[in-house]
Amino acid sequence: MDFKNTLYSYGQDHLLENWNNLSEEQQLTLKRDVESQDFKLLQRLFQEHSSKPSTSTEDEILPLTFDLAENNIRHSMWEETGFLLLEKGQVAAFLVAGGQGSRLGFEGPKGAFNIGLPSGKSLFQIQAERILNLSNKAGHPIPWCIMTSPLNHQETLTHFEEHQFFGLPREYIRFFSQGTMCALDSNGKAIKSSPEHLALVPDGNGGCFRALAQSGTLAWLIEKGVRFVFLYSVDNVLVRIADPAFVGALASDGRALSSSKVLRKKNAQEKVGVFASKNKLPAVIEYSDLPEALRLETYPDGAPLFDAANIAIHLFRTEALKRLQSTPLPWHSAKKTVSEVENAWKFEQFLFDAFPLLGSMTLFGVSREDEFAPVKNAEGDDSPKSARQMLGSLHKYWLERAGVKTDPRKLYEISPTLSYAGESLSQLVFDRELGKNILAFDP
């Protein structure tokens, strides 16, 4: 159907007002924006979300339990298995970096943000160097898929180009953009952000499965023989990308299609989503969706019963990703101000909605201080400062565990090119690398 007819048939022809006053180039731009949208879907979502009463109260929600993986007697076997898979090139990394990072308030892709470590490295650089270290150990490059959004795609690419892809082989990195959804006003009319542009908003991190497939990246991974894909968020400065033990644990489980790292909630009030069983299927329940009575339930020792915190670190078998390319995730809606229109409807998908669809997964327990320091806010909790402190304390602990005499007044930053997760450190290495790949800083 001609794009103008599409607009007429979905009641969006207001977008054509002033059409004749637009230049030819502006007309083309608007046409392209319109053609990027599925107006039938937008119409259906608006009808459903503007009329529906929210969540059912009859869900059966039960806690899911987990143990710390490092205490498991099979941990070293998992690690060996994971390394074997890395050596064979069967493990890839998948970064979802299409978010807008609005809470941090940084202009530009969040991954290009320098969190203020003494090295001045960006989040992208820290991740790239961890991948490089692990690839070198495995003797095989780790394919890295990076999902951006149309709002930050070019800037992300430029950041990598300016840094020569941080020493990684260019042909093992694929950048692709996620989809967008046009914001609608309270009458369901598409909003414009300028005379020639629709107000397009990234379609949520759950858009990653569609984008991975539609960009040809899933096929690229399968062609390379990849069987396990490590999927993670851009802002956790401690993320152990493609962690061999995590990979080995899923590979050793004949049944599960995916696995997620979890850690214990600090307390019942911590505002994180938790893994739970919902109507007999694994699911992530957001903080605000877990009924208070359940949230406050505790074990006899006072620990919350629903304590398997989701830290957005997942591992999928490629079979699961294939299945998800054709299984639609549910859509969520939020009302926000978009292009100065108040109470505009935004629609997005969440990647954790994949778990009930897949049905079978495992949980891999980790410690917060080892693996989770997100940078979400400009100040306070989950800020650059808290992430620096956590990284500095962890790296200092690694040094002390290796028998190094450290300065009690300092924290340390160890380059991921030197140590992926605390290995290869000693007094000798410390003396040689201090001021180079090991930097001391004030807490």
Under the rule (CB under 6 A), what is the footprint of ligand UTP?
Answer: 96-103, 110, 147, 149, 178, 202, 204-205, 233-235, 348, 376
Nearer to ligand UTP, 205 or 362 (CB): 205
Which contacts (CB < 8 Å, 24+ apart) does range 348-351 have? Answer: 348/181, 348/201, 348/202, 348/203, 348/204, 348/206, 348/207, 349/203, 349/204, 349/205, 349/206, 349/207, 350/204, 350/205, 350/206, 350/284, 351/96, 351/204, 351/205, 351/206, 351/208, 351/209, 351/231, 351/314
Q: CB 228 → ligand UTP: shortest distance, Å? A: 20
Nearer to ligand UTP, 334 or 434 (CB): 334
Q: Which single residue is written with the structure tokens 């299984």?
A: 327
In the bound complex, which residue of the shown chain has the CB atom lying closest to ligand UTP? 99
Q: CB 272 → ligand UTP: shortest distance, Å? A: 12
Nearer to ligand UTP, 152 or 259 (CB): 152
Residues 6+ apart with CB under 8 A from 47: 188
Q: Which single residue is written with the structure tokens 């590979």?
A: 251
**How many beta carbons lie within 10 A of that of residue 34, not counting itself?**
19
Distance CA 86, CA 80 (A): 10
Nearer to ligand UTP, 176 or 430 (CB): 176
Q: Return the H-helix or E-strand segment holding 201.
A: strand 200-202
Tell me the chain's radius of gyration from C-alpha atoms: 23
Q: CB 147 → ligand UTP: shortest distance, Å? A: 6
Q: Which of 373, 392, 369 is nearest to 381 (CA)?
A: 373
Nearer to ligand UTP, 45 or 429 (CB): 45
Q: CB 36 → ligand UTP: shortest distance, Å? A: 15
Nearer to ligand UTP, 234 or 320 (CB): 234
Please, where are the H alpha helices in 276-377? 292-295, 318-326, 354-358, 368-371
User: Is 115 within 8 Å of 388 (Cβ atoms)?
Assistant: yes
Q: Which of 127, 163, 126 is nearest to 145 (CA)?
A: 127
Distance CA 20, CA 27 (A): 9
Nearer to ligand UTP, 206 or 356 (CB): 206
Nearer to ligand UTP, 202 or 304 (CB): 202
Q: CB 111 → ligand UTP: shortest distance, Å? A: 8
Q: CB 299 → ligand UTP: shortest distance, Å? A: 29
Q: CB 2 → ligand UTP: shortest distance, Å? A: 30
Q: CB 178 → ligand UTP: shortest distance, Å? A: 6
DSSP string of 220-283?
Answer: HHHHTT--EEEEEETTBTT--TT-HHHHHHHHT-SS-SEEEEEEE-SSTT----EEEEETTEEE
Q: CB 331 → ligand UTP: shortest distance, Å? A: 12
Nearer to ligand UTP, 182 or 249 (CB): 182
